[in-house]
């Protein structure tokens, strides 16, 4: 059996350190949730987009990336996110079914994993079996977006499609882009700097930097409008000053800097008052003056001090922006995204008993387990008639999952230092090293697919097109599944495994024999929680092969023969209408 190489933890940590220095070039999320709306409690009814009174929710023109029959969007409560729903319609000759089917993807992935090609499409296969099939892309994934007008949604979908495909082509070497061209693109797309260069002379825009510093310190004082706790705000403020201090360390300016730092930290930690902005602006001016003195009078002069201060502030502001823009966790998916999708699909398909079938891969299956647990705890009737999970568990404590190595990285301080993990960018960068000589990262392939189980072109498409950026807050909550008691809600007080024995929903749980991410032992630990008459467990893979890794259950070359039929049989058995 494949095992993780000794260098695995070190390489993962190095990758995340690299991520912390590159997250600022990620696809921007342009709209921020208004703080006043974030905490509003309302009765939720899914809204749909309309370009007319007909309330059409289907995009008139699908982007090239979407290979479904239709692309729909639905809004979610307490958020300005518009979630993409890929719809696959059964052909006329398919058997009639009573329940539509909703597919949920893994962490940091989009709909492509369920629809890799015409010959390797779980979504298309299930629709051919008569199930109207929908794939949900949760917030931050795939073609989901943060715009409200229907016209803007369509434009955004096409833009996102082009970005995903062009990034994949570039990573695969099918599009060439010289280092000089990349540098030019970055410079052209970067925000205007506070330093302008004319010939060999540098013009120092003092007022602009004072304004930028004042704005940054005020955002910290306001706790990013509620996105940070008081302790987090203090941590981030100290981190910023530590970075600035490095620019004047071991110079005669350091004592003056410490005096300004002390006063600014005191103001940032204090409660707001009417004079706070002016006091912070005055200290920001003193800080800029100090750097100006360093540039002119310190012996020897501090080279490029202005530019380095500007870069430090810009990077820090970008980090604050990421904390706000990627402010969601597992419970946001569970409480907002998935219910929005379920209600929308129910409204579109109108099943007689008002229920759906649902299938989840990896985190998608964990979401289904968590949903069943919540329903059991609250005494609610689940909105699903049956569920199937692929490589999913709510308790990894006894298994040897490779993801255990990420636990030390998932702590609140790391979430502030590296607010996002650009999984798509990391895998795209690593892919050539895992598939081409000297194959230094070939072990990464074992995390995704077992040897010879996936066609090379499909594996490449999966790696380069399927993954996106993950908020650190999401990872922090998911890592509770590796601690005693298993996965918890964001409060840390509700254990999702505790209420699974009380569910009334039939469950099919599938595991792969060579799955290093969700080993069979983890799947079995969750299966044991269900009543025997409601759960069916199947382990895919044979001692002499074939073997199934994490994604082979969905996109492996034998999945259509060995995996899909058992899922179809299970759902067909429970497809009676109430």
> Could you tell me if 117 and 177 are in contact, meaning their C-beta atoms sit under 8 angstroms apart?
no
Residues 420 and 567 in one domain: yes
Distances (CA, A) of 156 to 69, 135, 262, 294, 505: 19, 19, 45, 46, 38
Does a structural domain hold residue 104? no
Does a structural domain hold residue 110? no
- pLDDT score of 410: 59
- pLDDT score of 7: 45
Average pLDDT for 117-129: 96
In this prediction, residue 476 has a pLDDT band, given cuts at 50, 70 and 90, of confident
Average pLDDT for 110-139: 96
Distances (CA, A) of 371 to 132, 377, 490, 496, 571: 22, 10, 14, 9, 19
If one counts the domains in the chain, the total is: 2
Q: What is the pTM of this model?
A: 0.80
Does a structural domain hold residue 187? no
Residues 439 and 571 in one domain: yes
Give the tens place of pLDDT for each residue, 324-345.
788 899 999 999 999 999 999 9
Does a structural domain hold residue 149? no
- pLDDT score of 195: 38
Does a structural domain hold residue 31? no
In this prediction, residue 20 has a pLDDT band, given cuts at 50, 70 and 90, of very low
Separation between Cα atoms, residue 392 and residue 517, nearest integer Å? 9
Separation between Cα atoms, residue 452 and residue 401, nearest integer Å? 22
Give the tens place of pLDDT for each residue, 366-378.
999 999 999 999 9
Reading the block at residue 526, the tokens are 């969750």
Separation between Cα atoms, residue 548 and residue 554, nearest integer Å? 10
Separation between Cα atoms, residue 510 and residue 541, nearest integer Å? 11
Residues 365 and 379 in one domain: yes
In this prediction, residue 503 has a pLDDT band, given cuts at 50, 70 and 90, of very high
The label of the residue with tokens 């008081």 reads: 230
> Could you tell me if 127 and 62 are in contact, meaning their C-beta atoms sit under 8 angstroms apart?
no
Looking at the DSSP assignment, which residues form a beta bridge with residue 507?
A: 387, 535
Q: Give the domain extent around 281.
A: 235-326
Q: Which of 277, 309, 326 is at the close of a domain? A: 326
Does a structural domain hold residue 222? no
Give the tens place of pLDDT for each residue, 278-288.
888 888 888 88
Half-sphere CA count of 336, side-chain side, radius 13 A? 21
Strand segments, DSSP code E, in 111-239 are 133-137, 195-198, 201-204
Between residues 298 and 70, which one has the greater pLDDT?
70
pLDDT at 47 over 60: no
- H or E segment to which residue 75 belongs: strand 70-75
pLDDT at 197 over 80: no
- pLDDT score of 560: 95
Average pLDDT for 8-17: 48
Q: Which of 297, 326, 355 is at the close of a domain? A: 326
Reading the block at residue 30, the tokens are 């342009």
Between residues 520 and 235, which one has the greater pLDDT?
520
- H or E segment to which residue 471 belongs: strand 469-471
Average pLDDT for 462-487: 90
């Amino acid at each position: 059996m494949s095992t993780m190489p000794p260098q695995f933890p070190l390489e993962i940590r190095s990758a995340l350190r690299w991520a912390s220095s590159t997250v600022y070039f990620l696809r921007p999320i342009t709209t921020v949730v208004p703080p006043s709306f974030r905490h509003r409690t309302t009765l939720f009814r899914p809204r749909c987009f309309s370009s007319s009174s007909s309330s059409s929710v289907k995009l008139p023109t699908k982007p090239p990336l979407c290979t479904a029959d239709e692309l729909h969007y639905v809004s979610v409560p307490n958020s300005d996110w518009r979630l993409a729903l890929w719809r696959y319609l059964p052909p006329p000759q398919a058997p009639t079914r009573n329940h539509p089917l909703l597919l949920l993807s893994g962490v940091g992935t989009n709909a492509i994993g369920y629809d890799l090609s015409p010959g390797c499409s779980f979504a298309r296969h299930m629709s051919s079996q008569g199930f109207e099939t929908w794939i949900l892309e949760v917030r931050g994934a795939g073609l989901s977006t943060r715009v409200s007008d229907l016209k803007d949604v369509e434009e955004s979908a096409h833009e996102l499609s082009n970005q995903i495909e062009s990034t994949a082509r570039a990573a695969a070497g099918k599009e060439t882009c010289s280092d000089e061209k990349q540098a030019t693109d970055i410079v052209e797309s970067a925000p205007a700097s506070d330093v302008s260069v004319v010939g060999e002379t540098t013009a120092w825009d003092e007022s602009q930097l004072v304004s930028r510093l004042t704005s940054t310190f005020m955002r910290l004082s306001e706790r990013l409008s509620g996105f940070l706790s008081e302790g987090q705000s203090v941590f981030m403020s100290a981190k910023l000053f530590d970075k600035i201090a490095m620019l004047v360390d071991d110079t005669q300016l350091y004592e003056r800097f410490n005096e300004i730092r002390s006063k600014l930290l005191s103001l940032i930690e204090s409660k707001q008052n009417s004079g706070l902005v002016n006091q912070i602006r005055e200290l920001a001016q003193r800080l800029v003056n100090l750097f100006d003195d360093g540039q002119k009078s310190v012996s020897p002069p501090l080279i490029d001090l202005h530019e380095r201060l500007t870069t430090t502030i810009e990077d820090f502001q970008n980090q604050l922006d990421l904390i706000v823009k990627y402010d969601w966790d597992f419970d946001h998916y569970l409480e907002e995204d998935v219910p929005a999708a379920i209600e929308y699909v129910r409204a579109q398909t109108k099943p007689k008993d008002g229920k759906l079938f649902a299938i989840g891969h990896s985190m998608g299956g964990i979401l289904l387990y968590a949903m069943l647990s919540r329903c059991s705890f609250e005494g609610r009737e689940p909105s699903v008639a049956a569920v199937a999970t692929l490589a999913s568990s709510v308790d990894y404590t006894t298994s040897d999952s490779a993801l255990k190595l990420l636990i030390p990285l998932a702590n609140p301080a790391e979430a502030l230092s590296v607010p996002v993990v650009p999984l798509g960018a990391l895998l795209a960068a690593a892919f050539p090293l895992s598939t081409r000589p000297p194959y230094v990262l070939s072990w990464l392939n074992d995390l995704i697919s077992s040897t010879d189980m996936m066609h090379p072109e499909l594996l490449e498409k999966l790696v380069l097109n399927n993954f996106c950026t993950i908020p650190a807050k999401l990872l922090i909550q998911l890592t509770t599944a590796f601690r005693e008691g298993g996965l918890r809600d964001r409060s840390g007080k509700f254990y999702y495994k505790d209420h699974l024995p009380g569910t009334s929903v039939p469950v099919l749980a599938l595991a792969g024999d060579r799955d290093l991410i969700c080993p069979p032992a983890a799947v079995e630990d969750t299966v044991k929680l269900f009543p025997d008459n409601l759960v069916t467990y199947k382990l895919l893979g044979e001692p002499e092969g074939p073997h199934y890794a994490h994604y082979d259950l969905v996109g492996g070359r034998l999945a259509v023969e060995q995996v899909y039929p058992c899922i179809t049989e299970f759902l067909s058995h429970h497809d009676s209408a109430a």
